[in-house]
Amino acid sequence: MPFTCKNLYGLIGKPLGHSFSADFFNRKFESEGIDARYLNFEIDSVAELPRLLVEYPALSGLNVTSPYKRAVIPYLDSVDPTAKEVGAVNVIKIVRMPDGTPRMEGYNSDVPGFADSLKGMAPGCKNALILGTGGAATACRAGFDRLGIRSVLVSRTPGPERITYGDITPEIMSSHLIVVNATPLGMYPHVGEAPELPYDLLTERHLAYDLVYNPDVTEFMRRAAANGAETKNGLEMLLLQAFESWRIFKAR
């Protein structure tokens, strides 16, 4: 499929029907008169990435979403310190060498995006629970570290440096006033799903933050609000990390 624009950007992952990234970037390009286009590349395997670079020689950058934030790393020529720390990449800057060979540089814009989205919220909170153990969860953990907040990962299965949902006690809930859903549960079209959290232990002192942004109000948020908790979805984080992605794409 031919493209006449100077630069092409896109998103790789699966599924991508929930994503707002293409709409956000294409509106930005149109409003600012930027000769570029942004496409969704829903691929069945991250091994298809080299093919995309050949098929679309105008590719200048990619965002990466589930389930490829970790799997993409072996395909990259370099990984910046933040992405290396969390073991997950969600931004790939593609630099064409003089001979036309693409060089792929990996970054993580989720960490600053998440940290910035929490500024001014839950003041005085010292501990947080992160539901999930994937790339988004590790980015949240690094973001909490930047804010001086201790965090604990929660998983359905036991493992090192994590607890299970069954381990959550009233004492843990009362001392961890931010709870982040970093799983895809509740994402469109599976809007009725939610993590197996003891929602009755949430109070008006808690912030229930869902990284999912489609739908606007997830089942996790609905259950949390029913117990008095403040809620927040992932739309602001999406926008903040998108701004950071664009800064990375355009950096020289």
Q: Which sequence positions are flagged as catalytic?
A: 69
Pairing of strands 91-96, 102-107: antiparallel
Report the DSSP beta bridge partners of residue 61.
9, 93
Closest to 56 (Cα-Cα) out of 76, 37, 35, 74: 37
Sequence-distant (≥ 6) Cβ neighbours of residue 66 within 8 angstroms: 13, 14, 134, 135, 136, 184
Sequence-distant (≥ 6) Cβ neighbours of residue 21 within 8 angstroms: 11, 38, 40, 63, 238, 242
Closest to 240 (Cα-Cα) out of 122, 134, 91, 126: 91
Sequence-distant (≥ 6) Cβ neighbours of residue 121 within 8 angstroms: 207, 230, 232
d(CA 118, CA 36): 31
6-to-26, 36, 142, 198, 247 alpha-carbon distances in Å: 14, 6, 35, 51, 18
Pairing of strands 7-13, 36-42: parallel
